Structure 1
Amino acid sequence: MPRPSAAELRPVVHPAGVKDRRSGEHWAGRLYMREISLRIDPYLVNTRISPNQLTYLMVVAGVLGGAVLLLPGLPGAVLAALLFQLYLLLDCVDGEVARWRGQTSVTGVYLDRTGHYLCEAALLTGFGLRAADVFHRQGPHPGWLWAFLGTLAALGAILIKAETDLVDVARQRSGLPAVADEASAPRSSGLALVRRAAAALRFHRLVGGIEASLFILLAAVLDACVPAGSGLFFTRLGVAVLAAVAVAQTLLHLVSILASSRLR
């Protein structure tokens, strides 16, 4: 079959509303990655590679992004950031190929969501192990506190996603349709104000895969710029910050959902 052009693909793989989804589209996708993926799609849509296989590759890229953080210094952090850009690209491409071929499926959605859980948890856990310096630290007591904080951040990132996904589970089991964006505003004006402030600050996004990978890279750059005796100061500070953000966001997000119309 002839290879379709980006212009032919666009109305099918980027239907109206795809880039405008408040909870389903990453800002980096809207900003640049959807345009990059549109140039990759023509080379994939006529191959034997299935959308689900692309999702599996996305998961591999994300998990490797967490694993390479065990490499010390800037190389590990740079590789992690690059692998998470690949993760985002594959996250765009798998759905676009599925839409072009008419192969969207419940299985594909499930794999995609599970992949997001796994990859973001791998990144934050890897960050904690990087801060613990378990393979390079001298002495009998590695910094397991940092590994614990990284794992705590990973757990928070998973719980935040689970809280959102479980809304639709609860509604479906109660015979209600999936939640719409307009139904997500908290009923309390005070909670609405807090939610708007959090959204403006964007602090909650720090535990997302793309944002966290860039945050980790920044910490590695700062560590590389300070005297050698400072060790992993900025990396460890970063782990503590992400753990605090994850715990706070988990609780605030839960309260926001319980106080909203999403469960009504």
Structure 2
Amino acid sequence: MGIVNVTPDSFSDGGKYSSAQHAVDEIGRMMEEGAAIIDIGGESTRPGANPVSESEEMDRVLPVLEPALDHFPDLFFSIDTTKYRVAEESLKLGAHIINDISGLQKEPRLASLCSVYNAGYVLMHSQGNPQTMQKNPEYENVLDDIFAFLKKGIEQLKKAGVSSIVVDPGIGFGKTLQHNLDIIKGLKKFITLDCPVLVGASRKSMLGKLLGNRPAEERLAGTLAVHYHCLMQGANILRVHDVKEAVDSVKIFEALCDKQEW
């Protein structure tokens, strides 16, 4: 899953795409590098980020999504949003997946909306909101608490008629460094939910902390290491900024695990 943030303030690629055409060109490059899914986001969810209005988010996302759907019919398009109207207008255009960082906490109606459009839904765990989520997050047991949250969300989605559900434990969203490490080390627990597991650690601040305050653009090797560890535990989807390198690592993983014949 390649990341396309059409925002001015995302932590890694904020302001990277100066126009819709620039973003569409980047999607084409990601497809050539091996991306199967493109995740388009119009609101930064980095710690401390300020929210944007529905109309502003749509003004960022829809002009990219519409031509991208036309240009790249073989790609799946995911919309990273917590807002009902943004999701609805995106699904009307033909988006395939809604990636909701709030896991139905902010907008429970997204479940029935995805059912109506026969769309997939990424159920992500988060604690708090982008303004507050990194201010002393606490859990009784981080793995058990996230597992219970995801299990409840899956039941809610299935009851609404959603059949394509992906779970994401939400690395970096209301978690300390130790919480993140515990999630990565214990990822196999979430495989038992019988839904594809998505992992998104690409360039995140936990890597910067582990690597001596390394800036985001210098965290590629750390990203690959974390994601490879997650692949070994059964992760199904990697959400990444660096598609080519991620695809390379998946090819090596598949060869070593005899998942492909060479």
**Range into which the TM-score falls when normalised by the shorter chain:** under 0.3
More helix per residue: 1 or 2? 1
**Larger gyration radius, structure 1 or structure 2:** 1
Q: Which has the higher contact order (CA 8 A, sep 6+)?
A: 1
More strand per residue: 1 or 2? 2
TM-score (norm 2): 0.25
